[in-house]
Amino acid sequence: MIPRRTLNEKTILSKEENYSFADYFKLVAYAEDLLEYFGYAFRRENLTLPQSSLALTRLEDIKLRLEENLPYISMTSEAARREFLLAPVLMEVVHYTHTQVRVEFPLTVTAQLKGVIDYYLHSPQQQLLIIEAKNGELERGFVQLASELVAFDQWTESDVSQIYGARSYALTKI
């Protein structure tokens, strides 16, 4: 009889291979399995995100501009999503929070945790946000985002109280 392997013994990654964050998008795995491979836990729960007491007076303007212009823009690529959807929203985040935004931020932690982060936001309160722009494949996008969050946690050596991640996704109705 062959003993049953535990999740940690499953071959998710080859220890001899190098992986970029983009490789994780191609990987056929679940985010919770990948996180467990790196020694992290996955938990689905409702979050109470940090909130601002600032008057967000410009949000209606950006909402109207996006609603007016997005029907004329093809969102068939990650680049289009970054430039026409995420970048305008992030400019508003900068306006209100004076948060530093780093675009295409290179990060190398190990041979299995390296690549380029689409957007990395850093605030003085030491709360981080990583944004991954994807055009479809919701679960695979979360797998890539999970690898980026693990890399950031190891890179910051847990100096950060919370690391948040987000990924773009398109919903379509016909």
How do 127-132 and 100-110 pair as beta strands?
unpaired
Q: 134 vs 106, which has greater pLDDT?
A: 106
Q: d(Cα 70, Cα 123) in Å, to the nearest integer?
A: 29
- Sign of the alpha-carbon torsion through 133, 130, 145, 64: negative
Do 152 and 121 contact (CB within 8 A), yes or no? no
Q: d(Cα 140, Cα 26) in Å, to the nearest integer?
A: 7
108-167 pLDDT, tens digit per residue, is: 999 999 999 988 888 776 666 777 777 667 778 888 999 999 998 898 876 666 788 887
**What is the per-residue pLDDT for 19?**
95
**What is the per-residue pLDDT for 51?**
79
Q: d(Cα 20, Cα 137) in Å, to the nearest integer?
A: 18
Q: d(Cα 53, Cα 101) in Å, to the nearest integer?
A: 21
Q: What's the rounded mean pLDDT across residues 87-104?
A: 90
Domain ranges of the chain: 15-42+100-167
Q: How confident is the model at residue 3 (pLDDT cuts 50, 70, 90)?
A: very low
pLDDT at 6 over 50: no
Q: d(Cα 13, Cα 16) in Å, to the nearest integer?
A: 9
**What is the per-residue pLDDT for 7?**
45
Q: How confident is the model at residue 8 (pLDDT cuts 50, 70, 90)?
A: very low
**What is the per-residue pLDDT for 167?**
78
Six-digit token string for 143: 């797998």
33-63 pLDDT, tens digit per residue, is: 999 999 998 888 888 877 778 899 999 999 9
- Residues 6 or more apart in contact with residue 138 via CB below 8 angstroms: 167, 169
Six-digit token string for 92: 């508003």
Six-digit token string for 17: 């291979």
pLDDT at 2 over 50: no
Q: 153 vs 168, which has greater pLDDT?
A: 153
**What is the per-residue pLDDT for 125?**
67
3-state secondary structure of 163: strand
